[in-house]
Amino acid sequence: MDKAKPIKTPMTSSVPLDKDSSGKSVDQKKYRGMIGSLLYLTARPDIMFSVCLCTRFQADPKESHLTAFKRIFRYLLGTRGLGIWYPRHNTSFQIIGFSDSNFAGYKVDKKSTSGTGQFIRQSLVSWSNRKQNSVALSTTEAEYIALGIYVAQVLWLKQQVLDLGLPVGTISVFCDNTSAICISKNPIQHSRTKQIDIRHHFIRDHVTKGDIELHHVTTENQLADIFTKPLAFDTFSSLRTRLGVIDINA
């Protein structure tokens, strides 16, 4: 595909991927080989979601899945110079992060997708994309579960930094769902939140102790959105740049 036509985004936002049961099957070995060739490139956060979504269909890949994978190669062909830029900072040491979810975004089993990104100062150091284990019954539940996943990750990151002898204050976490933030700050478990797994409610303890400080952020400024679903080019390009993914040859 070295002579393929480059494309601006790694995945289309108009046609969601599903099992495509009626589609024509393709060579499973070839499909898995393509997965292997791209997995190490998920060190580039701009293709994290697309690669992870395509890997879910490796048991029975269809032509539509192969086309989606080839689109990622076409995107990479036109963005060879992109990389994460880590500038020198004179600001104080601080960990901040973004947590988001796409409610029922996976069309096969209606499970939501969690996406998180952690920054040290203004530099992206860790990011993740994960399909949730259970089916969320509401957007609030999906966001709260994603928040729980993020808090566990960021507390681990905080401990690693403390082991290096660096001071870490309160960690700022940005979420675009006010209901999830309210649940995290409320020590009382109401009937509407009883269906949420109790293991996610540990967030409240860390908010109360001051380890975590939750902030609301608008959807337009939710940087973790790029890890949860395919986006149109304007939004995708903006978030990609704000994550620090730029043309390092420019």
Is 103 a domain residue?
A: yes
Give the angle subtended at the CA of 244 by the CAs of 97 and 65, to the nearest 5°: 90
Do 49 and 226 meet the contact criterion of CB atoms below 8 Å apart?
Answer: yes
- The secondary structure of residue 108, as a DSSP letter, is T
Q: Are residues 146 and 189 in the same domain?
A: yes
Residue at a domain's end among 80, 104, 129: 80
Give the integer Cα–Cα distance in Å for 172 and 243.
Answer: 16
Is 85 a domain residue?
A: no
Total count of domains within the chain: 2
What is the per-residue pLDDT across 121-177, written as a single tens digit (0 to 9) for each? 889 999 998 998 888 878 888 888 888 888 888 888 888 888 988 888 889 999 999
Give the integer Cα–Cα distance in Å for 211 and 66.
Answer: 44
- Identify the band that residue 16 occupies on the pLDDT scale cut at 50, 70 and 90: confident
Residue at a domain's end among 52, 80, 108: 80
Share of the chain above pLDDT 90, in %: 46
Q: Are residues 99 and 221 in the same domain?
A: yes
- Identify the band that residue 55 occupies on the pLDDT scale cut at 50, 70 and 90: very high
Q: Per-residue pLDDT for 207 more than 70?
A: yes
Average pLDDT value over all residues in the chain: 87
- Which structural domain range is residue 208 located in? 95-247
Is 87 a domain residue?
A: no
CATH number, position 151: 3.30.420.10
Q: Are residues 234 and 132 in the same domain?
A: yes
Q: Are residues 173 and 240 in the same domain?
A: yes
Give the integer Cα–Cα distance in Å for 179 and 48.
Answer: 27
